[in-house]
């Protein structure tokens, strides 16, 4: 005669189920919160306790200070650079030999063709109108940097934005080089200004990376 198995109806307290300690918020408690010492990771056992919450990496110390130093150094540098461009014709109008120094300073970076340069104090500036637009746009980009990017972090603009802002100066430069048209000074200035606006975002980010890399290398030494 077969007997049907009956469900166990004994005392459940004889075989207590394991309890899971929980925090006040209802989440499983870590071994240290539950009063147990976690097993060392190097004893071949299971991983003792891995928090399920995402771990936020803290920012390296001194980053904010380094960004501020790079930013204000860049701002001071572009202001001095632009000032030197206008000092060249001023000193020439005063018959000062210093004009040779300032014109020579910019000769490696610009063709300095008088017909393509703005006139100041009766003499052409130390750079052409397009280069002046690039430097003026660079100054504008430095001014926009803390508004668009802040001064606590640095990040590069999207590549498509750089390409978009490079198209006008590329087309205008190519058209003038191939003799298809001759742009006015202000059109050259405008195309250079638009391109110069985005350059500080790459320049400052690259310089910050360089400073931080140097600090890490020096710290290891």
Is residue 86 within 8 Å of residue 132, measured between CB atoms?
Answer: no
- Backbone dihedral region for residue 152 (phi beyond 0: left; psi -120 to 50: alpha; all else: beta): alpha
Tell whether the torsion through CA atoms of 162, 127, 208 and 73 is positive or negative.
negative
Q: Which DSSP symbol is given to 22?
A: B
- Which pLDDT tens digit goes with each residue over 61-111? 347 888 999 999 999 999 999 999 999 999 999 999 999 999 999 999 999
Output the pLDDT for position 218.
Answer: 79
Task: For the chain, give the percent of residues with pLDDT over 70.
Answer: 71
Residue 41 DSSP class: G
pLDDT of residue 171: 97
The pLDDT tens digits for 135-179 are 999 999 999 999 988 888 888 889 999 999 999 999 999 999 999
Angle at 20 between CA 15 and CA 26, to 5 degrees: 145
Q: pLDDT value at position 165?
A: 95
For residues 195 and 169, is the Cβ–Cβ distance under 8 A?
yes
Tokens standing for residue 54: 């995402």
Q: Of 178 and 44, which is predicted with more confidence? A: 178
């Amino acid at each position: 005669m077969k007997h049907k198995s009956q469900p166990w109806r004994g005392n459940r307290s004889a075989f207590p189920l394991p309890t899971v300690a929980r925090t006040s918020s209802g989440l499983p408690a870590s071994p240290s919160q539950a009063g147990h010492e976690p097993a060392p990771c190097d004893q071949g056992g299971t991983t003792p306790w891995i928090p399920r919450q995402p771990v936020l990496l803290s920012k390296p110390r001194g980053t904010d200070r380094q960004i501020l130093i790079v930013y204000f150094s860049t701002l001071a540098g572009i202001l001095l650079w632009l000032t030197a461009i206008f000092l060249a014709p001023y000193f020439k109008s005063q018959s000062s030999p210093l004009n040779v120094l300032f014109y020579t300073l910019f000769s490696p970076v610009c063709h300095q063709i008088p017909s393509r340069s703005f006139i100041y104090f009766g003499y052409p500036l130390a750079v052409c109108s397009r280069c002046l637009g690039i430097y003026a746009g660079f100054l504008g980009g430095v001014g926009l940097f803390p508004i668009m990017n802040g001064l606590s972090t640095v990040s590069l603009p999207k590549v498509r934005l750089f390409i978009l802002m490079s198209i006008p100066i590329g087309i205008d430069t190519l058209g003038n080089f191939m003799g298809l048209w001759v742009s006015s000074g202000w059109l050259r200035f405008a195309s250079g200004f638009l391109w110069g606006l985005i350059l500080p975002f790459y320049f400052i980010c690259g310089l910050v990376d360089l400073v931080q890399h140097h600090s890490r290398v020096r710290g290891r030494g």
